[in-house]
Chains A and B, each alone.
Chain A
Amino acid sequence: MRKFNQFIGFTFSKLAVSIVILTLFAILLFIFKRGFSVLNPSFIFEFPKDGMTKGGIFPAIIGTLCLSFGGILFALPLGVMGAIYLSEYAKSNIVIRIIRLGINNLAGTPSVVFGLFGLAVFVKFFGFGVSILSGSLTLGILILPVIIRTTEEAITAVPKEFREASYALGATKWETIKKVVLPVATPGILTGVILGVGRAAGETAPILFTATTFYTRYLPDSIFSEVMALPYHIYALMTEGTKSELQLPIAYGTAVVLLFLVLGINLIAITIRYRARKEKKW
């Protein structure tokens, strides 16, 4: 009977995994099939033409890259410092509990709210306008909770032995954090970066009012330029314009590019992480 229960348990978990994998492949297959017809080098390296019914999506790719990396640029230092404070310095008291609650709520906030916040604060109040800067800041706030949480986990997972060894040599707390804890935690922090970049590259709502434009003939030349972005481009192709039969394949093609872009970014981070892990065995 116990064996039977085990059999049932394993079968269901296998089934669950299969369903997840199958769904994933179904999505990929579907998008790839629909978008395949437009995929070629010129689709990637050309500007849109003829009211977005022809041509490529180069400015949207560049825009998404700028926004994602801009977002990380803001979120990484802030998030890492915040996580250091929370895990190493903060005593567990009411203030810290409120901060943690705030971070958790930030993680659960609908992304369109971040968009509105970005519009009100970065675009209007600080006067950055609809720009890479405003969009990056908004995305930065969006991915901040992910960075904080993964960094905190990574820091907490650093074995006590390393810290003790460092303290025993006369290191201060800050020296220990900077030179022992953070290097050891780096692979874990990179996991947060992976998740963050993926999230930032794929989000539409936060950049909708803060960074993106439907169409531009220019590549961004400063952080105050407005840009096209892949997810918004898909949205625009699906909701605007008149020739949907020509726009639809481009939208699917854009989706394929977006998927591969995120995959590519993740691969870079995974490679870094793998190298870091290989050097540090314990």
Chain B
Amino acid sequence: MVNTKIFIKNLNLWFGKKQVLVDVNMNIAKKTVTAIMGPSGCGKSTFLRCLNRMNDLTDGVKITGEITIDNKKIYENGTDVPTLRRKVGMVFQRPNPFPKSIYDNIAYGLRINKVSRNKIPEIVEKSLEAAALWTEVKDRLHESAMELSGGQQQRLCIARAIAIEPEVILMDEPCSSLDPAGMFKIEDLIEKLKEEYTIIVVTHNMQQAARISNFTAFLYLGRVMEFGDTNQIFTKPKEKLTENYISGKFG
């Protein structure tokens, strides 16, 4: 791959004594959508959370191997984790807006990243537009984000993530708590966002992976069973296991 954004080399992860990720190797290309799929408990979310060092928050975690984003090894000593997380944004499985107003939800990340005060209103509007939420909320920016529907909350979370201009966006099953209408809106959004961002989506919805991604990785018991072009994975999987999973024999 020419434009590789993220190199993952021999990544192993343990929670206590339990090994969750085993020798994960993957190269992720710039401005593409990569889907990570696999059965529950295969380590998809854990893998995703390695990329912005979210696993650091869990007690008893041990990580070996290398992750390089833009030629910087993110697990090296002296890595400034907040700066890394600013660059690698995240959208969570359950929409988790702050119990603040819609406006403040987006302004929060801008304020802590020291964006100058007079630029904030403009960026809030731009981010909400980019997340296809602006027309729905423009008249109630100062109402609580908790009043929004689940799908709107999730788009707000996406707006919040892109407001601070990350380069990579990690999405951890962003549609799993949404209804189909909400899901399709998010999928359209991902389609649009990949023009500017490198996106990695965890999903256990295979149709979704097929619809939205350029590349797909199939994780099973902490190992990458197969990683490649989405079309190829879904039409001509190389591994028997991948084929079985895709055809619904287990999962």
**A-to-B contact residues, CB < 8 Å:** 159, 161-172, 175, 179-180, 183-184, 279-282
Contact = CB atoms under 8 A, between A and B. Distances in A.
A279 B102 CA distance: 12
A162 B96 contact: yes
Interface in B97-116: 97-100, 108-109, 112-113
A192 B74 CA distance: 42
Interface residues of B, number: 27
Interface string B82-102: 110110011010101111100
B47 to A, nearest CB: 16
B96 A161 contact: yes
A169 B54 contact: no
B57 interface: yes
Contacts, number: 74
A179 B104 CA distance: 11
A175 B112 contact: yes
A169 B96 contact: no
B28 interface: no
**Top 9 closest pairs, chain A to chain B, by CB:** A170-B86, A161-B96, A280-B99, A169-B109, A168-B90, A281-B146, A170-B82, A170-B85, A165-B96
B202 interface: no
Contacts of A279: 99, 144
Contact of A282 (B54, B85, B109, B146): B146
Contacts of B94: 161
Nearest to A180: B98
Interface of B: 52, 54, 57, 82-83, 85-86, 89-90, 92, 94, 96-100, 108-109, 112-113, 144, 146-147, 157, 160-161, 164
Contacts of A175: 112
A142 B83 CA distance: 43
Given A281-B99, A281-B144, A167 B113 contact: no
Contacts of B52: 168
Nearest to A171: B112
Contact of A168 (B54, B99, B146): B54
A88 to B, nearest CB: 12
Contact of A166 (B83, B108, B144, B164): B108
A80 to B, nearest CB: 19
B146 A170 contact: no
5 contacts: A162-B96, A164-B54, A168-B85, A169-B164, A170-B86
B144 A164 contact: no
B202 to A, nearest CB: 14
B161 A169 contact: yes
A172 B82 contact: yes
Given A280-B144, A282-B99, A169 B92 contact: no
Nearest to B109: A169
Nearest to B88: A168
A223 B17 CA distance: 59
